[in-house]
């Protein structure tokens, strides 16, 4: 019958004291190993584990192999070590020498600084002006709106004693080429006694040309020309009568017909409204 050998690892049987020193009965830890040639006068090498710390043993009866390993905690007392140097300690690091880069003249360096500051200021102001201008342009009226802001009228196309109605900013505008008799009639009225006192001279730039908005000051209706009790304009909606100067003379309207801003270019024979 042939014996079978089996390797079994068992737990360590060596106990350690609270100080970390292994406790083994009948073991003299102070004993020294035999002195060798290159270890004369020294104890056992520290890199070689002691025999009791572990090993392999074979039982002569059963033939079992036992491997035992023990790791003991260090027994040395650790002390804190401080770095020591004999180098001279400086209070501050050494500042590099920038004398080769120093300006040769203080005045020239100051002039360059003023030039750079002034140039930056001018550039900043120009940029700010451009930004504000572009922002205001976006808020201005478009080209089609500006085209309707002003209207030109050929004065030669309006005969004397006739009315012309044009559209300006969505509103009707009455243009009357008055005769001399109509001018004298409008200026002979005692305008201070009217509901909305205003002289004919204040309402016209030239006596023969009368320009007004064709909107009744009562409720915004459009009066009819060459009608009414005073030979001017009449609003059939509520019976407001205006004279030949566009002043309210009778009816519920509280004010005279409004006179818009206009200019007369006699050289070109044109009237510009707006």
**What sign does the dihedral 83-85-87-89 (CA atoms) show?**
positive
State the Cα–Cα distance between residues 14 and 250, nearest whole angstrom: 133
In terms of C-beta density within 10 A (0-12 exposed, 13-18 middle, 19 or more buried), how is residue 11 classed? exposed
**3-class DSSP state of 82:** coil
Whether the CB-CB separation of 189 and 183 falls below 8 Å is answered with no
Buried (b) or exposed (e) across 44-64, using 16+ Cβ within 10 A?
A: eeeeeeeeebeeeeeeeeeee
Active site residue 42: no
38, 39, 238, 241: the active-site residue = 238
Query: Active-site residues: which are they?
Result: 238
């Amino acid at each position: 019958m042939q014996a079978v050998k089996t390797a079994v690892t068992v737990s360590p049987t060596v106990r350690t004291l609270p100080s970390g020193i292994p406790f083994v009965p009948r073991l003299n830890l102070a004993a020294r190993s035999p002195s060798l040639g290159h270890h004369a006068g020294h104890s056992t090498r520290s890199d070689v584990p002691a025999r009791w710390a572990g090993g392999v043993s074979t039982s002569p009866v059963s033939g079992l192999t036992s491997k035992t390993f023990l790791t003991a905690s260090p027994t040395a007392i650790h002390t804190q070590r401080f770095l020591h140097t004999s180098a001279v300690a400086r209070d501050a690091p050494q500042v590099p020498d920038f004398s080769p880069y120093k300006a040769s003249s203080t005045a020239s360096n100051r002039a360059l600084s003023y030039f750079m500051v002034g140039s930056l200021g001018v550039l900043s102001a120009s940029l700010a002006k451009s930004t504000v201008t572009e922002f205001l342009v976006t808020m201005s009226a478009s080209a089609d709106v500006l085209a309707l802001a002003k209207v030109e009228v050929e004065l030669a196309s309006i005969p004397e004693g006739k009315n012309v109605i044009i559209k300006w900013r969505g509103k009707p505008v009455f243009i009357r080429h008055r005769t001399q008799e109509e001018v004298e009639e409008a200026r002979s009225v005692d305008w201070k006694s009217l509901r909305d006192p205003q002289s004919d001279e204040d309402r016209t730039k030239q006596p023969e040309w009368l320009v007004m908005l064709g909107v009744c000051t009562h409720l915004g209706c459009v009066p009819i020309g060459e009608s009414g009790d005073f030979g001017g304009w009449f609003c059939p909606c509520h019976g407001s009568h205006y004279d030949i100067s566009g002043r309210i003379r009778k009816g519920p309207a509280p004010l005279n017909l409004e006179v818009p801003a206009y200019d007369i270019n006699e050289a070109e024979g044109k009237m510009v409204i707006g």
